[in-house]
Amino acid sequence: MRRLRDAHTQNGLSPRQFELLGILYERGPVGQGELGALTGIVASALVSYLNPLEEAQLITRRRDPHDRRKHVVALTGKGRSRLQAASQAQRDAEDQLLLALTTKQRAQLRDLLKRLRDSLVVLT
């Protein structure tokens, strides 16, 4: 697990920030409240993760044009590049961890872990 955490931190991201950028990459711009719901992060804590990402110009936050009380969070080009670098570092770390498995076994494990992760998202 430390290798995976290090893969993120060498790119200047905490594991939680990596998760947030990944969601924005997959879904596109998302309301800040929805982003909190997707991750299970309360609004006050979410701000502490988003502020440094915004300061580093990895995300933008804009008022929702349909509801001025809400903010929409979007990934920037710089954020996409940082996420791609961190994702590659994570894949490299995973490959090192899984050297004892065949390529087929690695693919099966990744599929199973993705299914578990997706089922957890549905439960929360």
Q: What's the confidence (pLDDT) of residue 110?
A: 86
CATH code at position 8: 1.10.10.10
State pTM to two decimals.
Answer: 0.77
Q: Which residues pair with 11 in a beta bridge?
A: none
For the chain, the average pLDDT equals 89
Answer whether residue 105 shows pLDDT above 80: yes
Answer whether residue 119 shows pLDDT above 90: no
Span 85-97, average pLDDT = 87
Answer whether residue 115 shows pLDDT above 80: yes
Q: What's the confidence (pLDDT) of residue 123?
A: 57
Q: What's the confidence (pLDDT) of residue 66?
A: 87
Q: What's the confidence (pLDDT) of residue 122?
A: 57
Number of separate domains in the chain: 1
- What range does the domain containing 62 cover? 1-122
Q: What's the confidence (pLDDT) of residue 9?
A: 72
Q: What's the confidence (pLDDT) of residue 106?
A: 85
